[in-house]
Amino acid sequence: MLGSTLNRMIFWELVRVFLLSLGSLTGLVLVVVAVQQASQLGLSLAQLVRAMPLLVPSILPIAIPATTLFAACVVYGRLAHDNEVVALKAAGVHLFGIVKPTVALGVLTTGTTAALYHTTIPRTQQMFYGQILSDPEEVLYNSLRRDRCLRHPSLPYVLYVRDVQGRRLIDVVIKRRVKDPRPGASPYDFVARMHEAQLQVDADNGTMSIVPDRFVIDGKTAVGGSTSSGEFKMDLPDSVSGKEARLRISALTWDELPDRIAGMRAERDVLVAQRDAHQVEVERSSDINVRTNGQAELRGFKFGIDAKTRQVRNLEAEVYARPALAVSCLVFALIGCPVGIWANRSDYLSTFVVCFIPTLLVYYPLLLAGSDMGKTGKVPLWLGCWAADIVMGAVGLLLMWRLLRR
């Protein structure tokens, strides 16, 4: 494909611009993602610096398609601006000859992105969360220093502190949530206040304890104070115990996706069978209380089944989304070449405005909208995930066809 000297020169110029723009864009996105992860997980600066290299592979699939497009626009825009395209046509060289390098770049970047999605990104995601959560106590202390609060949907308690001094929690308030609060009633049935406490984590058992110097209780079954240093034990939040990390779709390798999908479908089928059996039991009963309580339980089953169905759809969407995102590199390469030649610009800023921004403003909204419609069942899942590639690929082929007809 790159047998001629001209093709090799164009290809290596494409690679040079691609690598320069890839490094710049990856660095910019890395800073944003690192700050976001630090905020979500309560990371210290030292933890963040150690973990940043593990974030790079997950950023590359975002940066590679965009920089492929940018490189194609810049290189072919310079060729057109310097009248080299006109000179090549005058010399009898067909334009398809100078298109080959951008196709080669698109194929290479597509293969690289697919390989990253196959194993590299999931493995580095697992390593990232394994490294961060190796010291859950430090993560919890950092989170309390930043937010002065610890709350999580999986945690039955809400913890507030006025200050964190080293390993000491100052002016601590612990509130226990009510599972099913009545309208207008307090969402908490237990409140404990303590002047000073320490946080201890038992990672092996997945629990954490708040050990106070003394505390005051205000609850339904007990009111008063204590001078003893009893402890309040609770399960670790899923975000710290590693449960959320293990369930993240991005942390699943390509070979692990089918097993996870099958397992999630089996869990959903069990819930459906339980709901059907319970519905039959409720319909056969003549007791009004049984029927009333049964309807509430059926609504609970519906909620659980809907949640499992969403998880199945999200996993199935990943099977289509990963190759679709990889193919976007080739799609952008096909668009960048003809647009760069027609734009006839040699500077970075003009190229960015002419091609880069409009294409990204079309592709990614179409990708997100199509994926959402596929997950909700409004369109076939494969069509929703591939819609952006189909539309932009058709545009790229049309532009390339018109270019080669010149």
The model's pLDDT over 86-103, given as tens digits with 9 standing for 90+, comes to 777 777 667 777 888 999
- Tell me what percent of the chain is helix, strand and coil, each rounded to the nearest 5: 70, 15, 20
How does pLDDT run across 323-355, given as a tens digit for each residue?
999 999 999 999 888 888 887 766 666 766 777
Final residue in a domain of this structure, among 241, 273, 296: 241
Dihedral Cα 71, 73, 77, 78, nearest 10 deg: -10
Q: What local confidence, expressed as pLDDT, does residue 385 receive?
A: 92
CA distances from 100 to 181, 198, 242, 314, 385 (A): 66, 65, 47, 37, 28
pLDDT of 227 over the 50 cut: no
Residue 195 lies in a domain: yes
Cα maximum dimension of the chain: 95
Q: What is the mean pLDDT of the segment spanning 217-221? A: 50
pLDDT band at 223, cuts 50/70/90? very low
Q: CB–CB of 114/23 below 8 Å?
A: no
Residues 111, 306: Cα–Cα separation, whole Å: 36
Please report which residue ranges of 148-256 form alpha helices under DSSP H: 238-241, 243-247
Q: What local confidence, expressed as pLDDT, does residue 300 receive?
A: 80
Q: Which helix (H) or strand (E) holds 198?
A: strand 188-202
pTM (two decimals): 0.77
Q: Tell me which residue range forms the domain holding 30.
A: 5-133+316-405
Task: Copy the structure tokens of residue 298.
Answer: 């059926």
Same domain, 126 and 10: yes
Same domain, 118 and 165: no
Same domain, 106 and 145: no
Q: What local confidence, expressed as pLDDT, does residue 317 receive?
A: 92
Residue partners of 111: CB distance under 8 A and separation at least 6? 326
pLDDT of 105 over the 90 cut: yes
- Which residue in 132, 175, 130, 131 sits closest to 155, CA to CA? 175
How does pLDDT run across 33-47, given as a tens digit for each residue?
888 877 776 677 777
Same domain, 53 and 91: yes
Please tell me the total count of domains within the chain: 2
